[in-house]
Structure 1
Amino acid sequence: MLFLYFISIFNLINSLLTEQCPSSNFCKCSSDLTIITCINRQITDEKLINLNNQFPKSTIILNLSLNSLTSINFLTNLNNLQTLDLSYNKIHNLPSNLFTKFSQLSSLYISNNLIKTIPKTYNEISNINLDISNNPLNCTCSLKWLIK
């Protein structure tokens, strides 16, 4: 039993020490693996699914701008993420649980996408830098809270 415990600890430490930058074909990383830049790499939803498991858990800033993403539901396991740049993609919808998934998120850049509405749950979030410019927002009463 003790042997299994040590194996588990070893595997955990090994996984933390062996974190690497995702494929250099797609991303560049800071030396401490806190900033991941994947700008203009023709990343699609399918590629993001594969890359997602490669993002270091230490990632604080993730820039996926100028790609071909239509969804961000595939992003997971980035508990330290503070800044997410998804500008200039093809995203149509935002998940209502985005700020639950990324509880440390303080800046979200989603300008120049295809977003027509913002989930009402975003209204409950304070202290966030949110850039939603140049999206074809449907200006209805449901978005009235954005004026505040």
Structure 2
Amino acid sequence: MLFLYFISIFYLIKHSLTEQCPSSDLCICSSDLTIITCTNRQLTDEILINLNNQFPKSTIVLNLSSNSLTSINSLTNLNNLQIVDLSYNKISYLPSNLFTKFSQLSSLYISNNLIKTIPKTFNEISNINFDISN
């Protein structure tokens, strides 16, 4: 029993040392690193590519609203992501494999972008809340 306790403590220490909030100039994070807010920071696709490697794997909520993003293809390795806010950007295209990449996704906010067409796969998903108004 004591052995399991030490393994749990070791895991928590290792986990807390390896994951941290991305640059404070660009994002604000909750203390448990599950909520990442990077709003109104003039983020571009190039900056997001670099930031993506800094997002903690524990991220559940990611707010990238009010930036200059044109694509979300660079978002990867966020398997726990449940809520994504991409509203008020310049996104014109949504990848059809979005729900494969983020299997835990429950809410997607993409209003006020340049999206003209929604992939057919979005019509087949009933357990996700969408906000796609313009």
Instruction: Tell me the TM-score normalized by structure 1.
Output: 0.80
Name the residue aligned to 1:51: 51
Larger radius of gyration: 1
Q: How does 1:36-75 map to 2 (within 5 A)?
A: 36-75=36-75
Query: Which one-letter code corresponds to 1:117 in the other structure?
Result: T
2:48 is paired with a residue whose SS is helix
Over 3 Å counting, the alpha-carbon distance change for 1:16 and 1:101 in structure 2 is farther
Structure 1: gaps spanning 5 or more residues:
1-9, 135-148
TM-superposed CA distance for 1:15, in Å, is: 5.8
2:121 is paired with a residue whose SS is helix
Instruction: Tell me the TM-score normalized by structure 2.
Output: 0.88
Name the residue aligned to 1:113: 113
Q: Deviations over 1:61-102 (max 9, x none)?
A: 000000000000000000000000000000000000000000
Q: Distance in 1 between matches of 2:49 and 2:15?
A: 20
1:125 is paired with a residue whose SS is coil
Name the residue aligned to 2:3: none
TM-superposed CA distance for 1:14, in Å, is: 3.8
TM-superposed CA distance for 1:126, in Å, is: 1.4
Structure 2: gaps spanning 5 or more residues:
1-9
Is 2:84 the counterpart of 1:91?
no
Q: Distance in 2 between matches of 1:16 and 1:32?
A: 9
Q: Distance in 2 between matches of 1:33 and 1:14?
A: 14
Query: Which one-letter code corresponds to 2:22 in the other structure?
Result: P
Q: Distance in 1 between matches of 2:119 and 2:16?
A: 35
TM-superposed CA distance for 1:60, in Å, is: 0.2
TM-superposed CA distance for 1:16, in Å, is: 5.8
Q: What root-mean-square deviation, in Å, do the aligned CA atoms of Structure 1 and Structure 2 show?
A: 1.3
Name the residue aligned to 1:142: none
Q: Distance in 2 between matches of 1:126 and 1:16?
A: 35
Is 2:78 the counterpart of 1:78?
yes
Q: Distance in 2 between matches of 1:16 and 1:30?
A: 13
Q: How does 1:2-17 map to 2 (within 5 A)?
A: 14=14, 17=17
Residue identity (%):
85
